[in-house]
Every structure is written in C-alpha cells, then in structure tokens.
C-alpha cells in the first residue's frame, strides 16, 4: 500500500480535526439576564457563581459516557467505508477506496463523538440553571 493514496487527505483532515477539537473544548454556558441581583454582585462574582454551579453539576449529574464517542466512531467508519468503496469502485479501486473512506469516516465520527460528549446534557443544564436561580440569577438560555 502506497502512501500516495492518503497524502491528499492528511492535511485537510488534520486542519478539520484541530478546528473541531477547539470548538469542542469551549462548551455552552448559561446566559444570565441582567436582573437586580446580577447588577448588584457584578460580572466577576457572577462568573465565579457560574463556575461553582458548573462544578456542582459535574459532581452530581452523570455525563455522556465512552459509548457516545465509540458509537459515533463506528457509524462514521461504516458510512465512510461504504462511500469510499462506491467511490473507489467507480475509479477502479474499491478496496483502497473503502479503506480510505473507513479511516476518514472513523476520524470524523470520533471527532463528532468527542464534540457531542463535550456538550452538557439537559440534566446538567437544568442543574446549573436551578443552582443559579437559588443564588438569585435568571438564566435565559445557554450559548
């Protein structure tokens, strides 16, 4: 197997991977309505309270597990392999097309799974919203 088949895919795939991982690292956060309490305590105290509520949620609310990432990787590999095989068959190399497609699909699926796992669950968001509400804040959504 020659490396020339994979060469055109490596750079774009690397760039996409870094971009998606960077997006996945900065998860959504609650947006606070500027009520009297927020205006009284100020943005620094509000940020500290959000961080504390986020930490409490991480301690008490179950998050996504490894199966989220594994499932996305498997689906990506299967889909990519099928598309790669069809594309390769058209160009006369179904085997190498399937291999390239499966590798690319698995990578995209893996990154999608990581991104999905980095997003807070609805229970996590509800926990943080309640925690903030009990401290006097009004969360109007997540951004």
Over residues 127-142, mean pLDDT: 97
In 3D space, the residue among 9, 15, 24 whose CA is nearest the CA of residue 103 turns out to be 9
Full-model pTM: 0.52
Domain ranges within the chain, ordered by starting residue: 29-63+120-143, 65-119
Give the per-residue pLDDT at 58.
92
Is the pLDDT assigned to residue 110 strictly greater than 70? no
| Residues 64 and 116 sit within 8 Å (Cβ to Cβ) | yes
How do residues 78-91 score in pLDDT, each as one tens digit? 666 666 666 666 66
């Amino acid at each position: 197997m020659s490396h020339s088949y994979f060469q055109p895919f490596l750079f774009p795939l690397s760039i996409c991977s870094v971009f998606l991982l960077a997006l996945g690292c900065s998860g959504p956060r609650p947006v606070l309505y500027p009520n009297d309490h927020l205006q009284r305590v100020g943005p620094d105290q509000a940020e500290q309270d959000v961080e504390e509520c986020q930490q409490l949620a991480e301690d008490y609310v179950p998050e996504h597990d490894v199966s989220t990432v594994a499932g996305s990787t498997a689906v990506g590999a299967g889909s990519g392999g099928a598309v790669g095989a069809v594309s390769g068959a058209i160009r006369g190399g179904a085997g190498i097309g399937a291999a390239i497609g499966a590798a690319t699909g698995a990578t995209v699926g893996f990154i999608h799974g990581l991104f999905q796992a980095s997003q807070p669950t609805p229970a996590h968001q509800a926990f943080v919203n309640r925690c903030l509400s009990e401290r006097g804040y009004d969360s109007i959504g997540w951004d």
